[in-house]
Amino acid sequence: MEALRIGNKTRKLNPKSMNYFHRVGVKIKKYASIFWFIIPGAFLAILFGYLPLIFILAAFKSDFVLAINSPLQELFRNNWSFIQFTRIFGEDSEMFLLAISNTLIINAINLVLVFPFSILLAIMLSEVKSTFTSKLILIILCLPNFLSWPTVIGIWNNLFRDQNGVINNLLMNIGLIKEPIYWFGDNIGGIGGFNLFKFFAIVMNAWKGSGWNSIMFYTAIMSIDKSYYEASEIDGCNKVKQIWYLTLPSILPIIALMFIMNITYILSSGFEEINLLANISDPNLKERMKTLDVYLYEVALGAGADMSFATALGIFNSTVSLIFMIGGNAISKKLLHRGLW
């Protein structure tokens, strides 16, 4: 039984006999004074998060020309059509398919290699005997995360540029190469069409984010009761067996959560990183370096901006992300027996 006090009267309620909306109403009445604190945040969320959603209707327009009418007048003009969605796999399919293939390849490799690397990094740090040393190493590994992408791109450009780059100078000094290699070019090693665009995108992302991403795994590992490890040592388990049968099962909820989060954003490879990487690469390669974020930006705000088509692309992106989130949750529940719901 739950007691609800309204004014000077107290009523006893049985939650089992109430439906969901009745229970919510009871809680709102019970904690009415606390809900005043939610109003400012709710107002801002509605203003900036939900009201702009009305412009999703632009995706269902044959055209959306702001130079002629105001946004609201253009939004409710009688020119409804599904042509923007047919363009995705129709007349504009070549550039779209290139962008989505680049995005999927980069994010799939990140999911398969970089995501497990963060877990491995956390496990390695947890095995360091000195807590001070392990935390110091973790802080050092997290430092790249606080660098902006322009700074990161600048660092890697200084390392790999063809003129006076650190890597080229080193290889030339030890006699492995006779002339500088244009690492950001389109014919590395004299092989036409061979480039390292995806390699640099993946490695830079791992270098910048692996330390930061390992924090949650490291915290989860450090919260495991040490007596479990002592008991496993008595039973004759070595370090590998302790990691496989004790550490990994203990942090499965965190692994499941991070896996679902990563697979949800599989169509987002980071606009800033790819755009800046394209700026220091061979101009001939730039058109083939597009990812979905860069392509969406160019369609929405580039030369000949097309808001209707950009909105349709955004809806497609969000829909696929939702499908991946539901699918990732199902896979996580099937394989790891953990999920978001």
Question: If 0-12 CB within 10 Å is exposed, 13-18 middle and 19+ buried, where does residue 287 land?
Answer: exposed
6-38 pLDDT, tens per residue? 555 555 555 566 677 777 888 888 888 888 888
Quote the pLDDT of residue 8.
54
What phi and psi values does residue 273 have, to the nearest 5 degrees?
Answer: -60, -50
pLDDT value at 130 more than 80 = yes
Polymer length of the chain: 341
pLDDT value at 336 more than 60 = yes
247-279 pLDDT, tens per residue? 998 898 888 888 888 888 888 888 888 889 988
Mean pLDDT lowest for which of 15-19, 166-170, 235-239? 15-19
- Interior angle at CA 89, CA 83 and CA 94, nearest 5: 125
pLDDT value at 191 more than 70 = no
The mean predicted confidence, pLDDT, of the chain is 84
Mean pLDDT lowest for which of 38-42, 44-48, 79-83, 191-195? 191-195
Residue type, 275: N
Which tokens is 32 given? 């009415």
Three-state SS across the chain? CEEEEECCEEEEECHHHCCHHHHHHHHHHHCHHHHCCHHHHHHHHHHHHHHHHHHHHHHHECCCCCCCCCHHHHHCCCCECCHHHHHHCCCCHHHHHHHHHHHHHHHHHHHHHHHHHHHHHHHHHHCCCCHHHHHHHHHHHHHHHHCCHHHHHHHHHHHHCCCCCHHHHHHHHCCCCCCCCCCCCCCHHHCCCCCCHHHHHHHHHHHHHHHHHHHHHHHHHHCCCHHHHHHHHHCCCCHHHHHHHHHHHHCHHHHHHHHHHHHHCCCCCCHHHHHHHHHCCCHHHHHHHCCHHHHHHHHHHCCCCCHHHHHHHHHHHHHHHHHHHHHHHHHHHHHCCCCCC
304 vs 295: CA distance, rounded Å: 13
Supply the Cα-derived Rg of the chain in whole angstroms: 27
Question: If 0-12 CB within 10 Å is exposed, 13-18 middle and 19+ buried, where does residue 268 land?
Answer: middle
Closest CA to 75 of 61, 95, 91, 89: 61
What phi and psi values does residue 89 have, to the nearest 5 degrees?
Answer: -110, 15
Cα dist from 76 to 57, 63, 312, whole Å: 9, 12, 17
Q: Which of 37-46, 67-76, 186-195 has the highest mean pLDDT?
A: 37-46
299 vs 59: CA distance, rounded Å: 13
265 vs 129: CA distance, rounded Å: 36
pLDDT value at 337 more than 80 = no
Give the CATH number of domain 88-335: 1.10.3720.10
Mean pLDDT lowest for which of 33-42, 68-77, 313-322? 68-77
pTM equals: 0.81
